[in-house]
Chains A and B, each alone.
Chain A
C-alpha cells in the first residue's frame, strides 16, 4: 500500500513569507506526527494528532508555527513569517493508533530553504 506522502518535496522561500507543508498519512492511521530535522541534527518533535483528541502542540518552537489535521487524513503545517533558522527538513509520520511502542512510518520530508 501507499506510504506517507509529503508535498512539496522542496520549497525555497524568502524570509518573511508564509509556507504551507502537506502530509498525507497512511490510510487508516489515526495518529500523525510532525518533526523537524535540522542539518546534522536528530529529529525534533513538533506536534502530534490522534483521532479527535486535542493535539499535543508542545514541540512547536514559536507561535509562527501551526498545524491542522482534517479528521484522520491530511495534515498541513504552516510557518508564518519564515526566518532563516526555519530552514530544515520537515518530516511527517503516521502510526495506526498512536500508543507507545508503535512504529512510526515516515514520509520523505519537505526540504525548506529560507533565503
Chain B
C-alpha cells in the first residue's frame, strides 16, 4: 500500500523553465509534508516543508502548494537551473505518537537542460 504517490517519475525541463512535481496522499492523519532533494551519491537533504494550515509556502525559487481537501501537494521550481538536476522526494508524517515516521514517495528524477 503506497501511502504517498508521486508523479512524474522523471521530468526534463529547459533552463529557465518551471518544474512541477506532484504528490497525493491517503492518510488524513498526515500533518507535515517535506520535500527532500538528493544528488547522486549523496543522502537526501531537506529542501522545503509545509504544514496543512497554509496553502502555499515559498522559499526562493521553490514553492510548495498544498490542497488539503484534495489531499495533494506539489513542488514548483521556478527558473529551473542545471544545478537543480537531482531526484526529488515528497514525504509525509502523521500527527501523534509516530510523528517522526516519514513516508516517502518514489521520487522524481529532474533533469534541467542548459
Instruction: Check B107–A42 contact: CB distance below 8 A.
Output: yes
Assess whether A108 is interfacial by the CB under 8 Å rule. yes
Q: Which residues of B25-44 have CB atoms within 8 Å of chain A's CB atoms?
A: 31-32, 34, 36, 41-44
Judge whether A106 and B99 touch: CB under 8 Å. Answer: no
A50, A93, A100, A109: the one contacting B32 at CB < 8 Å is A100
Number of interface residues of B (CB under 8 A): 29
Provide the residues of chain A in CB contact with B36, threshold 8 Å.
106
Contact B98–A99 (Cβ < 8 Å): no
Q: Could you say which interface size class chain A belongs to? A: 20 to 34
Cβ of A98: which chain B residues have Cβ within 8 Å of it?
100
Shortest CB-to-CB span from B95 to chain A, Å, is 7
Q: Could you list 14 further interchain pairs (A-B, Cβ under 8 angstroms) beyond the known A48-B100, A50-B100, A103-B34?
A: A31-B100, A42-B89, A42-B105, A43-B44, A43-B91, A43-B102, A45-B101, A56-B101, A101-B49, A101-B93, A102-B100, A103-B46, A104-B102, A106-B43
Interface residues of B (CB under 8 A from A): 4, 6, 31-32, 34, 36, 41-46, 49, 51, 89, 91, 93-95, 98-107
**Chain A to chain B contacts (Cβ below 8 Å), 16 pairs:** A41-B107, A42-B91, A43-B91, A45-B101, A45-B102, A56-B98, A56-B101, A91-B44, A98-B100, A100-B94, A100-B95, A100-B99, A103-B46, A108-B41, A108-B42, A108-B43
